Structure 1
Amino acid sequence: MTTETITETWVLACSSTQIPENGGACTLVNGEQIAIFNFTRRGEWFATQNLCPHKQQMVLSRGMIGSTNDEPKVACPFHKKTFSLQTGACLSGDEYEIKTYPVKIEDGMVFVDVSM
């Protein structure tokens, strides 16, 4: 029997003041573009890949955030495909999926767990 150990790897992404309220911004973490969202209306933070898998464009950080049936989501600003900010599942009925990351805020700084 093999036991796997998963270690959290929190990486400083940016200052919380760099992310607009009820919006997102892109930051580079370990060479990967990460979209960080400050969902003020829900009192929550989210992080996902910035790449929209539909047309392979780095645009999700500029997408509109909202909720459907209490599910937080982001819509691609170009083609309106929507993705869950919690699971990464496409909510538009397509087979696409995005990577999501845990986020924490400490002393005004945004940290993303990139171990996933």
Structure 2
Amino acid sequence: MEWIKIFSNDTEARSKITHDKPQLLVLHGKRICLVLHEENFIAVQDACSHNGESLSKGHVNYLGEIVCPWHGYRFQLKSGRACDSSSADLKTYPVKSDDSGFFIGI
């Protein structure tokens, strides 16, 4: 796994990422959706496993699920697990922050 530095620190990340608003990142050709939810950062694949639409265009509901803007498929942010068994789970990416910066592992 390679840790990619996204921000200088956690404070900068929190100032740039709006709570519960998915943000698209492209890291080494991978489209990743980053979300700040309940004070935690969560990173999942950006493509909905049902039909490929960008989840960063979707929204996060009150249950902590990311909702695809096309057909409303829902996925648990923390685990990437599909809430409907008709689509595959999302790939998740680890996030860490320390004195040297804010990183996503790919």
Unaligned runs of 5+ in 1: 1-7
Asked if 2 retains the 8 angstrom alpha-carbon contact of 1:82 and 1:92, the reply is yes
Using the TM superposition, give the Cα deviation of residue 27 of structure 1 relative to its aligned residue in structure 2, in angstroms.
0.8
Q: Percent identity over the alignment? A: 25
2:46 is the alignment partner of 1:45: no
- Flag the structure with larger Rg: 1
Task: Give every structure 1 segment of 4 or more consecutive aligned residues whose post-TM-superposition deviation is greater than 4 Å.
Answer: none
Unaligned runs of 5+ in 2: none
If the length of structure 1 is used for normalisation, what is the TM-score? Answer: 0.73
Using the TM superposition, give the Cα deviation of residue 43 of structure 1 relative to its aligned residue in structure 2, in angstroms.
1.2
Report the structure, 1 or 2, having the larger strand content: 1
2:91 is the alignment partner of 1:99: yes
1:11 corresponds to which of 4, 21, 42: 4
Using the TM superposition, give the Cα deviation of residue 88 of structure 1 relative to its aligned residue in structure 2, in angstroms.
1.3
3-state DSSP class of the match of 1:90?
coil
- Larger RCO (CA within 8 A; separation ≥ 6): 2
The aligned counterpart of 1:63 is 58
User: RMSD of aligned C-alpha atoms?
Assistant: 2.1
Asked if 1 retains the 8 angstrom alpha-carbon contact of 2:50 and 2:87, the reply is no
Report the structure, 1 or 2, having the larger helix content: 2
Number of residue-to-residue matches in the alignment: 101
1:31 corresponds to which of 29, 41, 55: 29
